């Protein structure tokens, strides 16, 4: 039976100045369950395990799903509500302290964008929040242990931010490489030259292309050249040798070999099939 539940713990006197847990818990909500509008006097992070819902802050409405995370800022009005059909299940942790603000900023939260989408470290964050709950207690020792586990939980957000930064860098590298290829594909450029232009190693450029386009830089350059060769075969009367030389291939034989591999036929067969098709349309 799919039952709702709620387990939470509130610390009576958060007393560590650098970072202290105020409350922690996890809950499977009933349809339409909501909190607010209201304010909290501490930072409060919710990680969505399952289901979906909405979070409203300063008039902005964020629709959130499993894998997303939202942050409530201290003394700022907000509210959240579980979906009627797929109510969410989430874990949360509230905290205060001098280290809170710089960590929040480093994680990628801003007052204008208080949500993180599809955390790659989401499962780890959820697990660490549960560890904080397991360490609950109002002794000084418990407070220290909860704070230590809170640092570990927040580190998941920082690692996630690092992954996003790396992904954004990959996009930049791929964009720069494509720009270079589109301007120089008619020359016999090498992948090493492209990597040097972008400013990364050849292996790093390869990883960037695999991450963003699921193909290698060489495969992309080849596709670009073959696409242009098809246009030239369609629109000009240039010989295969001239086309090969115009697209950076070493010779016409190598061009024909690559063309056949990409298109399933030789350049000559391609031209003949196009000519036959044009006659049939007359």
pLDDT, tens digit, 9 for 90 and up, residues 169-186? 778 888 899 999 999 999
What pTM was estimated for this model as a whole?
0.60
Share of the chain above pLDDT 70, in %: 90
User: Looking at residue 118, what is its pLDDT?
Assistant: 85
192-251 pLDDT, tens per residue? 999 999 888 899 899 889 988 889 999 999 999 999 999 999 888 899 999 999 999 989
- Report the 3 state secondary structure along the chain: CCCCEEEEEECCCCCCCCCEEEEEEEEECCCCCEEEEECCCCEEEEEEEECEEEEEECCEEEEEECCCEEEECCCCCEEEEECCCCECEEEEEEEECCCHHHHHHHHCCCCCCCEECCCCCHHHHHHHHHHHHHCCCCCHHHHHHHHHHHHHHHHHHHHHHHHHHHHHHHHHHHHHHHHHHHHHCCCCCCHHHHHHHHCCCHHHHHHHHHHHHCCCHHHHHHHHHHHHHHHHHHHCCCCHHHHHHHCCCCCHHHHHHHHHHHHCCCHHHHHHHHHHHHHHHC
Q: How confident is the model at residue 281 (pLDDT cuts 50, 70, 90)?
A: very low
Average pLDDT over residues 49-78: 93
Mean pLDDT across the chain? 88
Give tens-digit pLDDT for 24-48.
999 999 999 999 999 999 999 999 9
């Amino acid at each position: 039976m799919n039952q709702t539940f709620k387990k939470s713990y509130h610390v009576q006197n958060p007393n560590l100045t650098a970072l202290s847990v105020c409350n922690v818990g996890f809950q499977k909500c009933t349809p339409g369950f909501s909190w607010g509008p209201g304010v909290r006097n501490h930072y409060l992070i919710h990680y969505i395990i399952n289901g979906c819902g909405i979070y409203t802050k300063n008039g902005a409405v964020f629709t959130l799903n499993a894998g997303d995370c939202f942050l409530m800022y201290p003394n700022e009005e907000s509210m959240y509500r579980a979906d009627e059909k797929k109510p969410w299940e989430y874990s949360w942790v509230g905290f205060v302290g001098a280290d809170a603000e710089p960590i929040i900023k480093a994680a990628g939260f801003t007052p204008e964008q208080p949500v993180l989408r599809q955390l790659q470290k989401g499962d780890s964050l959820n697990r660490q929040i549960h560890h904080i709950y397991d360490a609950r207690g109002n002794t000084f020792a418990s407070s220290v242990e909860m704070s230590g586990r809170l640092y570990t939980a927040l580190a998941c957000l920082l690692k996630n931010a690092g992954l996003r930064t790396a992904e954004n860098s990959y996009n930049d590298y791929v964009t720069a490489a494509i720009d270079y290829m589109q301007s120089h594909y008619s020359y016999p450029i090498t992948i090493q030259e492209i990597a040097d232009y972008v400013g990364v190693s050849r292996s790093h450029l390869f990883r960037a292309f695999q991450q963003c386009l699921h193909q290698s830089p060489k495969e992309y350059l080849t596709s670009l050249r073959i696409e242009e060769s098809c246009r030239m075969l369609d629109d000009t009367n240039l010989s295969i040798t001239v086309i090969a030389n115009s697209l950076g291939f070493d010779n016409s034989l190598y061009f024909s070999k690559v063309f056949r591999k990409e298109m399933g036929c030789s350049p000559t067969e391609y031209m003949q099939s196009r000519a036959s098709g044009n006659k049939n349309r007359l």
